């Protein structure tokens, strides 16, 4: 243990002194503290204070990015950046969880453990149905993962070739994984940041495409067999947001009324619209070699503070299902949860929509989430002027709910969630600025990081129609707003010391909500 702590202190010190490192990593004090809390041992699993009840969280210890998301043989696999022994970043493995319905998850033993090439950083997995890799055996189809091997040793030596891409495969439907003996397969070309490969099959040229984050841009590589990679092109040095390093890209094709476009997602930290980490996207064209876009504005898949490193599942036929890490590098290591740290967002279905002459990607909770919504209440012609106390009409004793309604005009409104000790969350729309917003300044425990309690987190309204559709998902420690059929998404986490049972809807002008649907959201962990 003492040796372990010493190594953590040493690596934290080295990381802190290295400008180019992945992101600001924890201070050694934080490393040692939380995972050892004796209280955490006493709590029954998944029922601790702040434990999300319908979002995936690891039972214990640290988690960041979703990785290797692949659907195969009726099972959704979710791998994730995991530290299996501490509740802060370090010693990164690929953790693993599986689900048959995208809603209920079962955590599995770690799938990939660090080796002499380094830690197991982010990456992706595909179903190699034609056995292009040759990893298949006895007629078994291989699942193949391409991930970044990140050498802490080289990082500490100040080397450039810290990050290389490696392969692993599974012949038992993702249960166990074998690393390829000739790793790494895609060697560092001489650049410090070279990571997070996302692989997909490009049917027109019958080849694999990998998109990687390379500092201030992405690079596209192609391969016939997942082992031999050829650089095709670069994109992004002069496009999009550049407030920080680019990470975790994804390239997907989406269809808007028969018009197919390619969407490139790129996470960035820092440089997000509300500070710290977020995911931007570009809508354009891809020909198997180059990605091009004529867009000039920067678009974000979620304007909130807590949706990072999101990518899509592979092998889901025509569905594009996206999931992000529900945190922010500004404070991920400091959030007051124990014995685990971090949750994922709910899985979101992506669609491409046109607003005026521009394409936007909309993100909405997958339909499967609907099965958790129980005890629905429907209120009709609800008059809101001043305040309407919704929680007097519906049962919100759990504090977990889904609320859907349409505001039939453009007007200010807000929803205030509060508890008896005066803690509150406000989510709403401000007509003057045309922004949705989230105010978590009085949301309970906020003092673990300076910027956390900052007032309004803003998300521009993108839709153009004269009514506003609201879909709000609230869990024990998070809120996800999907406005206007997901054209604007805003995700934020918070830590009230007591359940936020009171729900009040307010508006400055008189509005009449034709139909409001409220339902309790069941826990995915209940036995």
Under rule CB under 6 A, residue 65 binds ligand FRU = yes
CB of 92: closest distance to ligand FRU in angstroms? 5
* Residue 346 phi, psi dihedral angles, 5° rounding: -70, 150
Q: In the range 76-105, which residues lie near ligand FRU by CB under 6 A?
A: 81, 92
- Residue from the set 48, 155, 219, 247 that interacts with ligand FRU by CB under 6 A: 247
**Non-local CB neighbours of 517 within 8 Å, separated by 6+ positions:** 376, 377, 378, 402, 403, 404, 405
Residue with smaller CB distance to ligand FRU, 276 or 428: 276
Under rule CB under 6 A, residue 121 binds ligand FRU = yes
Under rule CB under 6 A, residue 342 binds ligand FRU = no
Which single residue is written with the structure tokens 């390619």?
262
Q: Which two structure tokens, joined as six digits, stand for 461?
A: 């309204």
Q: How many residues bind ligand FRU (CB under 6 A)?
A: 14
- The CA distance from 351 to 258, in Å, is 12
Region of residue 329 (phi > 0: left; psi between -120 and 50: alpha; otherwise: beta):
alpha
- Residue from the set 12, 63, 309, 500 that interacts with ligand FRU by CB under 6 A: 309
CB of 122: closest distance to ligand FRU in angstroms? 3
- Residue from the set 248, 311, 425, 505 that interacts with ligand FRU by CB under 6 A: 248
- Residue from the set 48, 196, 349, 475 that interacts with ligand FRU by CB under 6 A: 196
CB of 265: closest distance to ligand FRU in angstroms? 13
The site string for ligand FRU over 133-162 (x = CB under 6 A, - otherwise) reads: ---------------x--------------
CB of 11: closest distance to ligand FRU in angstroms? 13
- The CA distance from 462 to 363, in Å, is 13
* Residue 274 phi, psi dihedral angles, 5° rounding: -115, 25
Q: Which two structure tokens, joined as six digits, stand for 400?
A: 């977990």
CB of 10: closest distance to ligand FRU in angstroms? 18
Residue with smaller CB distance to ligand FRU, 22 or 283: 22
Write out the H or E segment, with its range, that includes residue 414. strand 413-418
CB-CB contact of 70 with 317 (8 Å): no
Region of residue 190 (phi > 0: left; psi between -120 and 50: alpha; otherwise: beta):
left
Terminal-to-terminal C-alpha distance of the chain: 35
CB of 195: closest distance to ligand FRU in angstroms? 5
- The CA distance from 77 to 314, in Å, is 10
Residue 367 DSSP SS3: helix
Cβ atoms < 10 Å from Cβ of 109: 11
Write out the H or E segment, with its range, that includes residue 508. strand 502-521
- Catalytic annotation on 128? no
Strands 245-256 and 435-439: unpaired
- Residue from the set 51, 55, 154, 195 that interacts with ligand FRU by CB under 6 A: 195
CB of 513: closest distance to ligand FRU in angstroms? 39
Q: Which two structure tokens, joined as six digits, stand for 508?
A: 């400055």
- The CA distance from 494 to 420, in Å, is 16
Which single residue is written with the structure tokens 């190699």?
128
Q: Which two structure tokens, joined as six digits, stand for 8?
A: 């953590």
CA angle 51, 54, 55 (to 5 degrees): 75
Provide the CB-side half-sphere exposure for 166 (13 A, CA): 27
Residue with smaller CB distance to ligand FRU, 332 or 426: 332
The site string for ligand FRU over 424-463 (x = CB under 6 A, - otherwise) reads: ----------------------------------------
- Residue from the set 8, 11, 23, 415 that interacts with ligand FRU by CB under 6 A: 23
Under rule CB under 6 A, residue 25 binds ligand FRU = no
Catalytic residue among 65, 193, 250, 302: 65
Under rule CB under 6 A, residue 330 binds ligand FRU = no
- The CA distance from 3 to 465, in Å, is 61
CB of 64: closest distance to ligand FRU in angstroms? 5
Residue with smaller CB distance to ligand FRU, 92 or 343: 92
CB of 474: closest distance to ligand FRU in angstroms? 25
- The CA distance from 341 to 80, in Å, is 13
The site string for ligand FRU over 201-240 (x = CB under 6 A, - otherwise) reads: ----------------------------------------
Residues engaged in binding ligand FRU (CB under 6 A): 22-23, 64-65, 81, 92, 121-122, 148, 195-196, 247-248, 309
Residues taking part in catalysis: 65
């Amino acid at each position: 243990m003492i040796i372990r702590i010493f190594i953590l202190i040493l690596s934290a010190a080295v990381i802190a002194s290295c400008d180019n490192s992945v992101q600001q990593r924890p201070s050694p004090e934080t490393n040692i503290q939380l995972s050892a809390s004796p209280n955490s041992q006493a709590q029954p699993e998944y029922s601790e204070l702040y434990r999300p009840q319908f979002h995936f969280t690891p039972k214990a210890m640290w988690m960041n990015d979703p990785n290797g998301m692949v659907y195969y043989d009726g099972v959704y696999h979710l791998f994730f950046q995991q530290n299996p022994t501490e509740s802060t970043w370090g010693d990164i493995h690929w953790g693993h969880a599986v689900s048959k319905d995208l809603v209920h998850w079962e955590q599995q033993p770690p799938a990939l453990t660090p080796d002499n090439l380094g830690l197991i950083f982010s990456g992706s997995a595909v179903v190699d149905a034609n056995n292009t890799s040759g990893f298949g055996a006895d007629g078994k189809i291989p699942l193949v993962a391409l991930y970044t091997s990140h050498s802490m040793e080289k990082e500490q030596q100040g080397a450039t070739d810290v990050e290389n891409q490696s392969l692993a495969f599974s012949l038992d439907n993702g249960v166990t994984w074998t690393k390829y003996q000739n790793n790494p397969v895609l060697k560092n070309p001489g650049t410090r940041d070279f990571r997070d490969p996302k692989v997909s099959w490009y049917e027109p040229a019958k080849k694999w495409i990998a998109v990687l984050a390379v500092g201030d841009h992405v690079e596209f590589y192609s391969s016939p067999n997942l082992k031999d990679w050829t650089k095709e092109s670069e994109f992004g040095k002069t496009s999009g947001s550049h407030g920080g390093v680019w990470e975790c890209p994804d390239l997907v094709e989406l269809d808007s009324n028969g018009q197919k476009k390619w969407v490139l997602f790129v996470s960035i930290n820092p440089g997000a619209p509300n500070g710290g980490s977020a995911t931007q996207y570009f809508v354009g064209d891809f020909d198997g070699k180059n990605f091009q876009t004529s867009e000039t504005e920067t678009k974000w898949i979620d304007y909130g503070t807590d949706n990072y490193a999101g990518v899509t599942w592979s092998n889901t036929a025509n569905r594009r299902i996206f999931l992000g890490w529900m945190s922010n590098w500004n404070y991920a290591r400091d959030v007051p949860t124990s014995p685990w740290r971090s949750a994922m967002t709910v899985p979101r279905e992506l669609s491409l929509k046109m607003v005026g002459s521009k394409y936007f990607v909309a993100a909405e909770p997958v339909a499967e989430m609907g099965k958790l919504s129980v005890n629905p209440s429907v209120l009709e012609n609800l008059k809101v002027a001043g305040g309407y106390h919704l929680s007097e009409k519906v049962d919100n004793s759990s504090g977990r709910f889904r609320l859907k309604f349409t505001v039939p005009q453009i007007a200010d409104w807000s929803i205030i969630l509060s508890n008896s000790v005066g803690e509150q969350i406000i989510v709403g729309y401000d007509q003057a600025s045309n922004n949705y917003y989230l105010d978590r300044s009085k949301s309970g425990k906020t003092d673990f990081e300076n910027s956390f309690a900052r007032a309004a987190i803003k998300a521009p309204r993108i839709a153009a129609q004269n009514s506003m559709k609201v879909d709000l998902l609230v869990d024990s420690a998070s809120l996800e707003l999907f406005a206007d059929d997901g054209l604007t998404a805003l995700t934020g986490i918070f830590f009230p010391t007591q359940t936020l049972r009171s729900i009040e809807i307010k508006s400055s002008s008189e509005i009449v909500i034709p139909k409001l649907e409220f339902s309790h959201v069941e826990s995915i962990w209940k036995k």
